[in-house]
Amino acid sequence: MDITTILGFIIGFGGILGGSMLEGLPLGTIFQSTAAVIVFGGTIGATMVTTPLPQVLIAVKAIPRLFVNSKSNPIMVIRKIIELSKVSRKEGLLKLESYLDDPFIKGDPFLTRGVRMVMDGTDIAKVREALETESQYIEEEESSAAKVFEAAGGYAPTIGILGAVLGLIHVMSNLSDPGKLAEGIATAFVATVYGVGSANLAFLPLSGKLKIKNRSEARIREIVVEGLVGIGQGENPNNIEDRLMGFLNEKERAGMGRKE
């Protein structure tokens, strides 16, 4: 579980609600159904108009990724590739077939396809081209989810202002009724809070988090491509490891037992 996402929401929304309570503001005044319908309904509608349905569905499916950590990491991938390189160099590429049922490899379709292509003796240039093309497609698809949240974060504040204007219109049309004045003013300000708050505490942060996760996963695919190409070319496992270490930062290299 990615605890930072959960803690971020708790601290962000908790700080705002807690601060409001410290000022003596009743929480009931913040929760306005009218403002919520205007802001969130308008934001979702505008985002759907901007974004094709397939990308919207991709964004919805990407939400769970924001709350869980990736099952693989670059250190684990490099170690597995070095293991494969040693086996293939010693016993031949066909020996890699026994690794297709390895839980680590089987759980990564991209790695599985790459190992199968190398094992089958596919021309190494074609292996690289195929894997890089697939990686680029995956990255573009994943980035579209981040763009959906980014679009929502751009629309929400403006929709919040629209809700505020509607609330003020309601106020102006009921100047003779003091009871409705307070309700209209509350809706106006709460709509602004919903718009600005949802954009800066939810939509834009979620977009940023997805971009970070997408880049992290793209790096792992780059490691896979370089490693499998090295295996296909019959390179020395030590040379492959040295090249793959270039994808790691200092802390990760220490985790590999290597310091540069």
In this structure, what token pair is assigned to residue 175?
A: 């100047």
Same domain, 17 and 111: no
C-alpha 186/C-alpha 193 separation (Å) is: 11
Whether 227 shows a pLDDT value over 80: the answer reads yes
State which residues form the domain around 162: 33-260
Same domain, 75 and 182: yes
3-state helix, strand, coil in the chain (%, to 5): 85, 0, 15
Torsion sign (Cα): 90, 92, 93, 94? negative
Asked whether the beta carbons of 163 and 194 are under 8 A apart, the reply is yes
Asked whether the beta carbons of 189 and 240 are under 8 A apart, the reply is no
In this predicted model, what pLDDT tens digit does every residue of 104-158 receive, in sequence order?
Answer: 888 889 999 999 999 988 899 999 999 999 999 999 888 999 999 999 999 999 9
Torsion sign (Cα): 107, 111, 114, 116? negative
Mean pLDDT of the chain: 87
Same domain, 27 and 77: no
pLDDT band at 68 (very low <50, low <70, confident <90, very high): confident
Same domain, 198 and 107: yes
Residue type, 235: E
**Most confident range, picked from 19-28, 54-63, 166-175:** 54-63
pLDDT band at 166 (very low <50, low <70, confident <90, very high): confident
Residue type, 120: D
pLDDT at 150 (0 to 100): 94
Same domain, 48 and 155: yes
Same domain, 7 and 50: no
Same domain, 25 and 55: no
In this predicted model, what pLDDT tens digit does every residue of 18-36 receive, in sequence order?
Answer: 888 887 777 777 888 888 9
pLDDT at 65 (0 to 100): 86
- CA distances 139 to 90, 128, 211, 238, 255, Å, are 35, 16, 10, 29, 27
pLDDT at 154 (0 to 100): 94
Q: Please report how many Cα atoms fall inside a 13 Å half-sphere around the Cα of residue 110, on the Cβ side.
A: 23
Same domain, 15 and 116: no
Same domain, 20 and 69: no
Asked whether the beta carbons of 210 and 65 are under 8 A apart, the reply is yes
Whether 260 shows a pLDDT value over 60: the answer reads no
Place of tokens 């349905």: 53
C-alpha 224/C-alpha 85 separation (Å) is: 12
Q: Quick one: how many helices (H) and strands (E) in the chain? A: 11, 0
Number of domains in the chain: 2
For residue 180, what are the contacts with CB-CB under 8 A and spacing of at least 6?
170, 171, 174
In the chain, % of residues over pLDDT 90: 43
pLDDT at 259 (0 to 100): 45
Whether 238 shows a pLDDT value over 80: the answer reads yes
Angle 173-179-184 (CA atoms, 0-180°, nearest 5)? 50
Same domain, 42 and 5: no
Same domain, 20 and 50: no
Higher-confidence position of 186 and 160: 160
Same domain, 217 and 190: yes
